Amino acid sequence: MPWKTQGMSGDQIDEMFVGNMSGGRFVLQEHIGALIADHAGLTKNHIPVTRVEAACASGGLAFRQAYMTVASGMQDIVIAGGVEKMTDVGGSETTDALAGAADREWEGLVGATFPPGLYAMIANDYIHKYGLTREQLAAVSVKNHRNGAHNPMAQFRKEISIEAVMRSTLVADPLRLLDCSPPVTDGAAAVILCPMEMARESPIPR
Confidence of residue 115 (pLDDT cuts 50, 70, 90): low
pLDDT at 74: 95
* Side-chain half-sphere exposure of 102, counting CA atoms within 13 A: 21
Task: Give CATH for domain 1-109+184-206.
Answer: 3.40.47.10
Q: What is the pLDDT of residues 156-177, one digit of tens each?
A: 899 999 999 999 999 999 999 9
Is residue 198 within 8 A of residue 76, CB to CB? The reply is yes
- Neighbouring-strand partners of residue 99: none
Q: What is the pLDDT of residues 72-104, one digit of tens each?
A: 999 999 999 999 998 888 878 888 888 888 888
| CA 97, 103, 108, 109 torsion-angle sign | positive
List every span in the chain annotated with CATH 3.40.47.10: 1-109+184-206
66 CB-contact burial (10 Å; exposed 0-12 / middle 13-18 / buried 19+)? buried
Q: How far, in Å, CA of 34 to CA of 29, rounded?
A: 11
Q: Is the pTM value of this prediction over 0.85?
A: no
